[in-house]
Amino acid sequence: MAYYLGRDVKVWALLESSDNLGIATDGTNGASKVSEGTAGSWAFGRRATGLVDGYALGDLTGVDLSIGTTDEDITYVGQRSVLKAEIKKETTMTLTRKKSTLEWDVLFNGPVKSGDEITSGTLTHGARWGVTSAVGGASKISDGLRSPKDHNAASGDIEFGYRMVLKLNSSEFFVMRNAQIASHGVTLNADGTTEETLELISQVTPLIKTVVADCVAATASSDI
């Protein structure tokens, strides 16, 4: 587990869709699709143009990164040692910031604006699973009721979840692929300040890259 102060790192939230779009929230009116570059957006498309300083998440006070695995214990007759057989990776990123808007509340709890939902008329879900064009060909905000592999574009790219990019130093990026929003919490401190946390989790093997273009390569279906 590693903890970074918000002022020491930069974090970007990208969609796993490579389309020229983003996700933004409008108070309690819901999450909606917007054009890339729209002010106040949470995430933009999986494109190198989304990894510029002006699009990094703002007002972060801390970033907690945990890299682990899900193992299965295998016991052998006559042996004391238990084998930890790796099943899959498990990466968790927890973002903390001073609460100033309802953005993270809407992302986690919903609603979704009419016209941007994947299932017509179903607006009560959040934007925890990103967008997908698997239904109807146009990108819609996922409701999480399809398997990750079914969040696929016509090109075959897997669009499930978000791509979180953590810039560790001037030339090193930690890339967390196909992450879904797992939890959201709000804490009222004794001094009257309010902090909120957003936890994202991924079971796809993370990447360490030094070139921006490599940070936005599509996830292969075999990696899901």
pLDDT digits (tens, 9 = 90+) for 155-201: 888 999 999 999 988 889 999 999 999 999 999 888 877 999 999 99
Q: For residues 20 and 61, which has the higher predicted lDDT (pLDDT)?
A: 61
pTM above 0.75, yes or no: yes
Give residue limits of the domains in the chain: 2-223
pLDDT at 131 over 90: yes
List the alpha helices (DSSP H) in 42-171.
Answer: 103-109
Q: For residues 113 and 134, which has the higher predicted lDDT (pLDDT)?
A: 113
- pLDDT for 141 equals 93
- pLDDT for 185 equals 95
- pLDDT for 80 equals 93
pLDDT at 77 over 90: yes
What is the rounded average pLDDT of the residues 32-49?
Answer: 87
**Three-class secondary structure of residue 149 per DSSP:** helix
What is the rounded average pLDDT of the residues 100-125?
Answer: 90
- pLDDT for 126 equals 92
Question: Strand (E) positions, the chain?
Answer: 2-5, 10-15, 21-25, 31-35, 43-44, 60-75, 82-98, 131-132, 140-141, 162-169, 172-188, 194-202, 207-209
Smallest Cα–Cα separation from 181: which of 197, 165, 194, 204? 197
For 25, residues 6+ apart whose C-beta sits below 8 A from its C-beta are: 31, 32, 42, 101, 102, 103, 106, 107
- pLDDT for 165 equals 97
Are the C-beta atoms of residues 151 and 142 closer than 8 Å to each other? yes
Residue 162's identity, in one-letter code, is Y
- pLDDT for 213 equals 93
Confidence of residue 39 (pLDDT cuts 50, 70, 90): confident
Which tokens hold the place of 121?
Answer: 């008329």
Which tokens hold the place of 17?
Answer: 């869709």
Which tokens hold the place of 129?
Answer: 């699973």
- pLDDT for 171 equals 84
